[in-house]
Amino acid sequence: MNAITLNNGTDMPLVGMGTYPLNGLGFAMLVRKAVRMGYRSFDLASAYGNERWFGRGMRFCGKRRSELFVTTKLSNTEQRRGDVRAALQNSLARLGMKYVDLYLMHWPVPELYVSSWKQMEVLYREGVARAIGVCNFHQQHLKALLDAADVIPAVNQIELHPLLSQSGLVKVCKKEGIQVEAYSPFAQKHDRLIKNEVLATIAGRHQRTVPQVILRWDLQKGIVSVPRSSNPARLRENISIEDFALSDEEMNRIDLVNADFRVRCDPDNCDFSKL
């Protein structure tokens, strides 16, 4: 799978495996299958409660730790506790690892996210996180963070799909050297996306599925994506996007599908106490 180089020189695969809400022994076994299919990047979070099971699956996947790219996240509850070091140490213990490749702040909790970031910077310098970044940050959150930061976030993971292209935010991230990563790239399989006529027509032209066309659209834009599935056939489908390409005209048509439609919480209007 193609990789992109983050602003600190770390390479990150352009397609990874999302893991929420996968859990338990079945998830551990699925990790092993995914690695055999070619997955090298896995997106986890302490809030998902699945780090321990991922660690078990990884230990028997047949690959060295250095061959995998593992992301986990600082939860809102952990932010409120105020000890980011303890949060990451607990994640590492559950994962059975000495470091993570990417440590993300899950949400911009008001009044806390800047101080949380400063603690993350210390952990990054110590090498227990090869890269650090954020999730669900809008322009104003990034501005406040960058005004105080010594380390520019390597990644901003946001809800992004053809119905929510977030072009303005993507431009800001690109200007600042922050890699955009798309979660919910299929908008949770919402009919407005999966049955979209433009996407269906392009998929038919290439004899591909709509999800494959979406992932290819992300890839050609240089956007990292982490689709989630527990179905081995779909996992294989999601990673099989390197042997076709979308034309400029097709890319532009997909861009025009945008409707500013969200399936997840808007960071500007969230009740963070419930996340």
Question: Do the beta carbons of residue 84 and residue 119 sit within 8 Å?
Answer: yes
Residue 224 Cα distances to 26, 58, 142, 184, 237, angstroms = 26, 22, 19, 12, 16
Question: Do the beta carbons of residue 19 and residue 44 sit within 8 Å?
Answer: yes
The contacts found for 1-7 with CB under 8 angstroms, 24 or more apart, are 1/38, 1/39, 1/40, 1/41, 1/239, 1/242, 2/219, 2/242, 4/179, 4/222, 4/224, 6/131, 6/154, 6/155, 6/179, 7/152, 7/154, 7/177, 7/178, 7/179
Catalytic residue among 39, 48, 103, 124: 48
Query: Percentage helix, strand, coil, to 5, in the chain?
Result: 50, 15, 35
β-sheet bridge partners, residue 161: 164
Helices 197-206/210-221 angle, 10° precision: 90
Tell me if residue 48 is catalytic: yes
Question: Do the beta carbons of residue 53 and residue 28 sit within 8 Å?
Answer: yes
Which secondary structure element, helix H or strand E, spans residue 224, and what is its range?
strand 224-225
Instruction: Give catalytic residues, as residue numbers.
Output: 48
